[in-house]
Structure 1
């Protein structure tokens, strides 16, 4: 229980770094592909890792009060489809049960990139991770630098960045 409370406090502190009011809901909705993922516990996001997600679509409704997410995860080389609708909590944080308790926040969005920040509590360890998504299949150098900056701000080593799109052969 203390770990869960600590996790929530950490998420709320991170939420204060960039307020939800700075997120333009009209830019969130769309077809998004995971280009990069990074985590302080890299084992979770390497190829075949439980948190290596291949995003497909994110939809923001009611001024991002609700977030609909569709993504794939590979298990034994096979793509498994997942989707869900998340309700925004205090501080612009969303909760989803997937490989443990996940607290999700949109930390950056522009016309071409979307960066999600997660804290995953699998019952034994809290893993901080980001997913850098694009409407295409790559980031510009400036977009990649922004992604690296966001990782650094959250204590995620940039040497732990995985180029996820290279292994994305799941259906569109």
Structure 2
């Protein structure tokens, strides 16, 4: 029962936020690389952190009812590959169990850039995270500014932005 209430609160908080325009599935599916990560608890996304996910592929399944996520996490310096599936809930919110319960929302999508907002509940605390991924290995200055704006809107300090691409030496 202790875990049900925080999960319900997470879902309601995410669902109550301003609902973005429907994300076009054609802009989601593809090969992606993690360019930037940011969190209000930087330990979660720091080098060796449990949520420093280095994305490789995202796929919309069944009209985006599910998101298939392929990514690496470096544990003790070793790249470990994960294939996880997030299930869509009400209001374009997805739930995935990975290093706790994660409520995930795609908050920005373009042909080259995708930003994912996550609220992670690890059993003790909620951590707010954004992951900026690209179809390539960098962001333009305009894309980086957009990423910073999205962090600011969610109360994540821009000084907590980590450059994921600089330390990503996991297999392509």
Q: What TM-score range do you get, normalising by the shorter chain?
A: over 0.9
| 1:92 aligned partner | 92
Distance 2:85 2:51 in 1: 18
TM-score in terms of structure 1 length: 0.94
Distance 2:86 2:162 in 1: 26
Alignment partner for residue 12 of structure 2, among 9, 16, 21?
A: 9
| Higher mean C-alpha displacement, 23-32 vs 59-68 | 59-68
- Where do residues 20-169 of structure 1 align in structure 2 (5 Å cutoff)? 21=22, 23-169=23-169
Distance 1:134 1:9 in 2: 29
CA contact (8 A) 2:19 2:91 kept: no
Unaligned runs of 5+ in 1: none
User: Aligned-pair RMSD on alpha carbons?
Assistant: 1.1
Distance 1:2 1:53 in 2: 26
Shift in Å, 1:2: 3.2
Q: Secondary structure at the match of 1:92?
A: coil
Distance 2:140 2:8 in 1: 38
Q: Secondary structure at the match of 2:50?
A: coil
Unaligned runs of 5+ in 2: none
**Deviation by residue 1:79-128 (Cα, 9 ceiling, x = unmatched):** 01101222211011111111100011111110110000100000010000
| Higher mean C-alpha displacement, 39-48 vs 79-88 | 79-88
Shift in Å, 1:17: 3.8
Q: Secondary structure at the match of 1:90?
A: coil
Structure ranking higher in helix proportion: 1
TM-score in terms of structure 2 length: 0.94
Runs of 4+ with deviation above 6 angstroms: none
Q: Secondary structure at the match of 2:91?
A: helix
CA contact (8 A) 2:39 2:130 kept: yes
What is the number of equivalent residue pairs in this alignment?
169
| Higher mean C-alpha displacement, 141-150 vs 2-11 | 2-11
